[in-house]
Amino acid sequence: MKLEELDFEQLPHRKPYPGDMVFKIDGMTEDEYIAKITEEINAIDLTSVPIDKWDILVTFLLATLEVGGDFFLGDPDFKYSLANSNGPFVKWMNQFHEKLNHSGSVLDYQGPVKDSSGNSVGSFGGGDHRAKTFGHDLPLMRFLFGSDVKEDDSTGTKVAKQTYNTTLIIRDILHFGLALYSICNGKFIDCVLGKDGKYTWISTTANQNGTEYTDYNIFVGVIKYLVHMLADFCSTRSLPIPGWSLLSHFPDRDVQAFALKLYKNGMNLRTMAMQGIPVAVTELLMSLYIWLRSKDCKENYTEEAWDRKKDKLLLVAHGITTAVNVGKVIITKAPWRLNLVLIARTFYLVFKVIAEEASFTNRHIEKADLGVLKARIETAKTLILLDKATYETENVQRLLDSLDSRIQETNQNVDGALNDLDKDFDNTLNNIGE
């Protein structure tokens, strides 16, 4: 027996027992993985800013202000509204329409449309001619109805959203291209739905009075187009809302008539812009209020938590105004009084707040799941340490048993040697005595 065999430090380096393995997760040791999970848990923000009396007071004050703005700025039927076509503001703007020289434009064709048999199937005349033509439909649908929301590739919605955005872009390009082509070539192009449900196309180089249109180069054509749109925006009925030509050319005469009725009664691009003012003011004042409240509380709550609170308060303010606006429309039976900007913003906030709450709930679940996973890994680590301790203890016991066995064997050998020595000594003495 050698002395180094009693060196217990050699025990951990002995070959492990069968079935033992190194504990690794995704190529990391248990300590590295626990550190990673701990970092992920600490990164999950579960702070939520509570709503107090000041929030309620400011929200209702802004809602009241927004309701007043809806009446006095964006209601085409309200006598004292800036959007009223008979009011002083619209009359003042109409002066610019009259002063800007855009008479004789190919976009203002107001003659009849006849089928192949020479029968009249419709007309582009009247004060609502802008809502009847493709050329007056501004290419702004992508900016008004597009979305920058990020979608998950795994859900399949990203492809649908890209298709939607591409459709809007193509539509805007086609409308602008048609208007520019008409101006540059001095040719009015459009179509009318006949009583037989079929479209009749018109392409004419002369206006309703027989006067030939002038053609222009593309540079002058763009200038003519911009001046014409600006002038018509300032007119009494202004320009139709982008995308309105889809309704005025819809393959259903009732839908077309309803779209023209809305336009005649004041649902136009200028009214929409006026309706957006109280919405924008409410957003601005709420953002200012949240910034002032959060300025001294950034250590307690994250910026994301304040943004979630702002969205909730804005939803309440816009929701109150939307309820008043919709109630006004129901009572007066005047759908052209709808505040489209307000309704669109309210619906957007509804989906946004729901998504934020769902995400907030998922964070709680994710943090709980990570905590459970961390606890299980730590438990497994503890069990492995216990197993290792048990294994090394058993090795020590086996070493001690082996040592005891060797000592007993050595003692037996020593006893045997002593017995043999005694026998030899006795034999020697006997031989001497003889």
Identify the CA nearest to 104 among candidates 181, 250, 205, 178: 205
Residues 123 and 195 grouped into a single domain: yes
Residues 99 and 240 grouped into a single domain: yes
In a domain, 179, yes or no: yes
Contact 358, 349 (CB under 8 A): no
Query: Is residue 35 scored above 60 in pLDDT?
Result: yes
| Distance between CA atoms of residues 32 and 40, nearest Å | 13
pLDDT, position 166: 80
| Domain hosting residue 236, numbered range | 86-265
Query: Is residue 428 scored above 50 in pLDDT?
Result: yes
Residues 169 and 233 grouped into a single domain: yes
Domain boundary among 208, 238, 265: 265
DSSP code, position 329: H
Identify the CA nearest to 216 among candidates 302, 317, 330, 106: 106
DSSP code, position 337: G
Please give the mean pLDDT across all residues of the chain: 81
pTM: 0.74
**Mean pLDDT, residues 33-38:** 69
pLDDT in tens, 300-343: 777 888 888 999 999 999 999 999 999 999 999 999 999 999 99
pLDDT, position 413: 74
Residues 242 and 159 grouped into a single domain: yes
In a domain, 15, yes or no: yes
Residues 104 and 242 grouped into a single domain: yes
Query: Is residue 409 scored above 70 in pLDDT?
Result: yes
In a domain, 404, yes or no: yes
Q: Helix or strand or coil: residue 120? A: strand
Q: Can you give the C-alpha Rg of the chain in angstroms?
A: 43
**Mean pLDDT, residues 131-141:** 87
Query: Is residue 95 scored above 70 in pLDDT?
Result: yes
Query: Is residue 9 scored above 60 in pLDDT?
Result: no
pLDDT, position 303: 82
Percent of the residues in the chain that have a pLDDT greater than 70, as a whole number = 76
In a domain, 295, yes or no: no
Residues 205 and 132 grouped into a single domain: yes
**Mean pLDDT, residues 200-209:** 88
| Distance between CA atoms of residues 30 and 24, nearest Å | 6
In a domain, 288, yes or no: no
pLDDT in tens, 269-308: 999 999 999 999 999 999 999 999 888 776 677 788 888 8
In a domain, 157, yes or no: yes
Residues 35 and 128 grouped into a single domain: no
Dig out the tokens for 308 from the structure: 């979630």
Domain count, the chain: 2
Residues 225 and 104 grouped into a single domain: yes
Domain boundary among 220, 240, 265: 265
In a domain, 274, yes or no: no
Contact 176, 136 (CB under 8 A): no
Residues 119 and 229 grouped into a single domain: yes
Residues 26 and 100 grouped into a single domain: no
| Residue tagged 């190919």 (tokens) | 106
In a domain, 322, yes or no: no
Residues 206 and 137 grouped into a single domain: yes
Dig out the tokens for 128 from the structure: 């609502």
Residues 112 and 162 grouped into a single domain: yes
Domain boundary among 265, 288, 322: 265
| Distance between CA atoms of residues 304 and 301, nearest Å | 8
Query: Is residue 149 scored above 90 in pLDDT?
Result: no
